[in-house]
Chain A
Amino acid sequence: MSVIADYQDELLGGMLTTIQLSIVTFPLAFVLGVLLSVLRLCPVPLLRAVGTAYVEVVRNAPVLVLIAVIVFGLPEVGLTIPLFTCVVVGLSMYFACYVCETVRSGIRSVSVGEIEAARALGLATSAVFRTVVLPQSLRSMVQPLATIFINIVLGSALGAAMGVHELTGTVRSVNLLEAQPILCFALAGLGYLVMTLTIGHTAGVIERRVRVVR
């Protein structure tokens, strides 16, 4: 157990980095995902094709490959950005695909009849979107978005492979010094569990508040 005491600062630092990675990535993935869904729902065929191509290409590559391409590819074109940022960009680009699909199915879940009722009242298209489509689809997206957030937290462990000292990376280094793999990785698991349970619980609370009864 002395591992915990001896490396307390490092472990907490690693956890903090994981939290930072996730908290920066989630909103970026969300915004990019919403933009992609707008492309995929838009009536212009070319824009729709761009959105579809992005999702099909990015979603079908392993995240690690995507991050590696960014880490090693950007310096090739003369861009050197910090490893942390590379991981954030890779994760955001990847998880945006899932946000996009979540938003699309959320919007499709809104009743066509209610949209027609809003149009029949004389609401302009943008007002229909703001008052009926968006509030209802956001409500139905709470749980899927929480799942994406959880996957971002877990996916951020790939940062370790790129040399970012987030939770997994830190634990791996500690283990190299102390040779206590079970304890070390169980500790990491516990850290992830605390974060993901928090997200799941928060989503549950939000969902109960905003749920649409049908």
Chain B
Amino acid sequence: MTDRPPLVALDGVNKYFGSLHVLRDVTLSVGRGEVVVIIGPSGSGKSTLCRSINRLEPIDSGTIAVDGVPLPAEGRALAALRADVGMVFQSFNLFAHKTILDNVTLGPVKVRKLPRREAEQRARTLLDRVGIADQAGKMPAHLSGGQQQRAAIARALAMEPKVLLFDEPTSALDPEMINEVLDVMTSLARDGMTMIVVTHEMGFARRAADRVLFMDGGRVLEAGSPQEFFDNPQTDRARDFLSRVLHH
């Protein structure tokens, strides 16, 4: 991965909420097709890091570039960049007043200016890919959590993003629905999608990640292959965290 230019590059990123220092000198580069899983205790800054990459959270210092382009401050340029960075949220955040199909076509029609017909065709293909083709005409509230999250993934994919960000995509799901979402994510990873995934699902990390980052107190304390990290964590913090999450 190192011989290719990074798709996402963070350099010396710092972020404060008031006096709380939530990201401390974070430097990270994610290559094309790479799947990076971020784990760490609650409050360690995982969501903030994830959200800073499409500037849902502005940062205080450092630089973030996507595909070589530094994040624009505001306005049209930022919107254009966000169109290339897909995001999947913990609470799905489907548009409650639109059908599943319309949720998926909204971005392509309004942002990419795709003709509706074409957008719908593509949306149906994507809904089929995530296994909910039969739900296209329903309102989000009428779907199970797992189906809603898969619709949200289809909505993000419809923009043909360069990279997909996931912030705890399965944390709001009942256990029996977690796997249907993880399966979709695993298959995306296999197909070469660049992904940055905040998750507590260690099985997914082992299976799909190229690299695991361990965060604590706003810092990236460890970064390595899943095998290195899970079998031989370097820091006490990581060992402690792993012993807690793996033994419950």
Measured CB to CB, the residues of A under 8 A from B are 111, 113-114, 116-124, 127, 131-132, 135-136, 139, 212-214
- The docked-state distance in angstroms from the alpha carbon of A9 to that of B74 is 63
Verify if B69 is at the interface (C-beta below 8 Å from A): no
Which of B34-42, B105-113, B174-182, B228-236 lines the interface with chain A? B105-113
Q: Does B56 contact A121, Cβ atoms closer than 8 Å?
A: no
Known contacts A121-B159, A122-B107, A136 near B96 by CB under 8 Å: yes
The residue on A at minimum CB distance from B107 is A121
- The docked-state distance in angstroms from the alpha carbon of A120 to that of B85 is 7
Known contacts A120-B87, A121-B111, A111 near B96 by CB under 8 Å: yes
Q: Does A136 contact B83, Cβ atoms closer than 8 Å?
A: no
Q: Does A131 contact B110, Cβ atoms closer than 8 Å?
A: yes
The 11 listed contacts between A and B (C-beta, < 8 Å) are A111-B93, A113-B89, A114-B93, A117-B94, A119-B79, A121-B159, A122-B111, A131-B110, A132-B95, A213-B96, A213-B139
- The docked-state distance in angstroms from the alpha carbon of A120 to that of B80 is 10
CB distance from B140 to the nearest CB of A (A): 8
Task: Select A213's contact among B76, B82, B142, beta carbons within 8 Å.
Answer: B142
Verify if B117 is at the interface (C-beta below 8 Å from A): no
Q: Which B residues from 127 to 163 make CB contacts under 8 A with A?
A: 139, 141-142, 152, 155, 159
CB distance from A171 to the nearest CB of B (A): 44
User: Which residues of chain A come closer than 8 Å to B91, judged between CB atoms?
Assistant: 113
Q: Which of A117, A119, A132, A212 has the most CB of B within 10 A?
A: A117
Task: Select A214's contact among B83, B96, B152, beta carbons within 8 Å.
Answer: B96
- The docked-state distance in angstroms from the alpha carbon of A28 to that of B195 is 51
Q: Does A123 contact B142, Cβ atoms closer than 8 Å?
A: no
The residue on B at minimum CB distance from A121 is B107
- The docked-state distance in angstroms from the alpha carbon of A111 to that of B111 is 21
Count class of interface residues, chain B: 20 to 34
Q: Does B82 contact A122, Cβ atoms closer than 8 Å?
A: yes
Q: Which B residues from 71 to 87 make CB contacts under 8 A with A?
A: 75-76, 79-87
User: Which residues of chain B come closer than 8 Å to A212, judged between CB atoms?
Assistant: 96-97
User: Which residues of chain A come closer than 8 Å to B86, judged between CB atoms?
Assistant: 120
Query: Per-position contact with A for B56-79: 1 when CB-CB < 8 Å, else 0?
Result: 100000000000000000011001
Task: Select B95's contact among A118, A124, A139, beta carbons within 8 Å.
Answer: A118
CB distance from A162 to the nearest CB of B (A): 43
Q: Which of A127, A131, A139 has the most CB of B within 10 A?
A: A131
Q: Does B96 contact A122, Cβ atoms closer than 8 Å?
A: no
- The docked-state distance in angstroms from the alpha carbon of A124 to that of B113 is 13
CB distance from B187 to the nearest CB of A (A): 22
User: Which residues of chain A come closer than 8 Å to B48, judged between CB atoms?
Assistant: none
Q: Does A122 contact B95, Cβ atoms closer than 8 Å?
A: no
Q: Does A117 contact B141, Cβ atoms closer than 8 Å?
A: no
User: Which residues of chain A come closer than 8 Å to B142, judged between CB atoms?
Assistant: 213
The residue on A at minimum CB distance from B80 is A122
Verify if B54 is at the interface (C-beta below 8 Å from A): yes
User: Which residues of chain B come closer than 8 Å to A214, judged between CB atoms?
Assistant: 96, 141
- The docked-state distance in angstroms from the alpha carbon of A120 to that of B159 is 11
User: Which residues of chain A come closer than 8 Å to B155, judged between CB atoms?
Assistant: 117, 121
Query: Per-position contact with A for B12-50: 1 when CB-CB < 8 Å, else 0?
Result: 000000000000000000000000000000000000000
CB distance from A183 to the nearest CB of B (A): 49
User: Which residues of chain B come closer than 8 Å to A120, judged between CB atoms?
Assistant: 54, 56, 82, 85-87
Q: Which of B75, B85, B93 has the most CB of A within 10 A?
A: B93
User: Which residues of chain A come closer than 8 Å to B141, judged between CB atoms?
Assistant: 213-214
User: Which residues of chain B come closer than 8 Å to A127, judged between CB atoms?
Assistant: 110-111
Q: Does A124 contact B76, Cβ atoms closer than 8 Å?
A: yes
- The docked-state distance in angstroms from the alpha carbon of A120 to that of B158 is 13
User: Which residues of chain B come closer than 8 Å to A136, judged between CB atoms?
Assistant: 96-97
CB distance from B40 to the nearest CB of A (A): 22
- The docked-state distance in angstroms from the alpha carbon of A139 to that of B97 is 9
- The docked-state distance in angstroms from the alpha carbon of A113 to that of B79 is 17
- The docked-state distance in angstroms from the alpha carbon of A214 to that of B159 is 25
User: Which residues of chain A come closer than 8 Å to B80, judged between CB atoms?
Assistant: 122
Other A-B pairs, 20, CB within 8 Å; known A117-B155, A213-B141:
A113-B89, A116-B89, A116-B93, A117-B152, A119-B82, A120-B54, A120-B85, A120-B87, A121-B82, A121-B83, A121-B110, A121-B111, A122-B107, A123-B79, A127-B111, A131-B106, A135-B97, A136-B96, A136-B97, A212-B97
